Amino acid sequence: MSKRDYYDVLGVSKGADADEIKKAYRKMAIKYHPDKNQGDKDAEEKFKEAAEAYEVLSNPEKRQRYNQFGHAANAHSANGGGYGSGGMNMEDIFSQFGDIFGGGSPFGDFFGGGGGGRQGGGRRVARGSNLRIKVRLTLEEIANGAEKKIKVNKQVICKTCDGSGAKDKSSFQTCKTCGGQGAVRRVTNTILGQMQTTSTCPTCNGEGSVITSKCSVCHGDGVVRGEETISINIPAGVSEGMQLSMSGKGNAAPRGGVPGDLIILIEEIPHETLKRDGNNIIYDLHITFIDAALGTSVEVPTIDGKAKIKIDPGTQGGKILRLKGKGVPEVNSYHRGDQLIHVNIWTPKALSNEERALLEKLQNSPNFKPNPGKNEKSFFERMKEYFE
């Protein structure tokens, strides 16, 4: 099933500003919130879909990439799953966007404060920071796709305490300030009556418990510096400047939280003889005047190896030959570009006396006088054909 357009999901136009997007997401989140639709799988999926759309459209960089590449900018993963936000679970959503409602579940007051859609009531889930890396690819790797194994230095879960930050399992106690809820509620009297507000517990920082004896290795953080080798499957057709993200492959989060994402910036390594123009490959072929007049066969490089092409007798300089389907594939599509060969006729810069005498002898021959026919395309016509 194909993904819906993120703007359609939130019901906003492509020119919507940040406030409009935030209001639209809040409306959708309230409508399909798990607390309000307990046991309704369809509502849960729509809740996740709205969160995924908001994650992209609320981030200026992700929104720009989405506007340029659509779902292709976030549509691939190293394990065949999803780059970007397609793998979000309920904890991801609440940890990232809980503040959209001013903290916690917007339905906590209506359903006894349980926050049925969240595990652990109002407890806050920490999130690790994102990491950015650059991956340089050859033109051949871009055309065919590639698997890259990258060593990344980052925050990893402490193996000594298994990420808990505590010396052992008995080194925890329930937070006395919030009673293990991770949030504190305050009731204030106003002219309109009593108003109840919920905020993160200042003592346990929303975790619901405090450590009484810290791990000696990570000193209570639950994470340490380490190295991880990550396998990245780069889809065919990516381009310079495109960013891909791998969910959960960034820095580990303190004390068992949600890890951040790994952001992958694509860089293209210039090819020695081929140039890329969108999905097309450009090659400048230089032939002699003799070959252009008599015709010949030549080998040209392509991203798949060598290809033999025929040069017809009387070929004019500036002619563009097309090798269908020899370009770069489009991301998430069966369409593939072409290879365009620009024919350039090489004019010798130095001549021997014998060569000069031969050319002077042919200079006045009627076949050597420029006489373009009606079928001969002008430079502008060739350029128009090239861009089409």
88 is in an annotated binding site: no
Which two structure tokens, joined as six digits, stand for 285?
Answer: 């072929």
175 is in an annotated binding site: yes
b/e string for 265-304 if b means 16 or more Cβ within 10 A?
Answer: ebebeebeebebeebbbbbebebeeebbeeebeeebbbbe
CA dihedral (120, 126, 130, 131) in degrees, to 10, reads -110
261 is in an annotated binding site: no
Q: In angstroms, rounded to a whole number, what is the distance separating the alpha carbons of residues 209 and 207?
A: 6
Residue with the two structure tokens 């994402």 = 261
178 is in an annotated binding site: yes
218 is in an annotated binding site: yes
201 is in an annotated binding site: yes
Strand order, beta sheet including 320-323: 275-277, 280-288, 339-346, 320-323
Give CA 137 to chain center in angstroms: 15
Helix (H) or strand (E) holding 20: helix 18-32
Q: With CA atoms as reference, report the closest residue to 269 among 386, 150, 132, 146.
A: 146
Q: Which residues, in sequence order, are CB contacts of 143 under 8 Å at separation 6+?
A: 236, 237, 303, 304, 327, 328, 329
Are 305 and 281 spatial neighbours (Cβ–Cβ below 8 Å)?
no
Q: In angstroms, rounded to a whole number, what is the distance separating the alpha carbons of residues 3 and 48?
A: 12
- Please give the single-letter amino acid code of residue 241: G
Which two structure tokens, joined as six digits, stand for 380?
Answer: 């502008």
Q: In angstroms, rounded to a whole number, what is the distance separating the alpha carbons of residues 175 and 210?
A: 6
Residues of each annotated binding site: 158, 161, 175, 178, 201, 204, 215, 218
Residues of each annotated binding site for Zn(2+): 158, 161, 175, 178, 201, 204, 215, 218
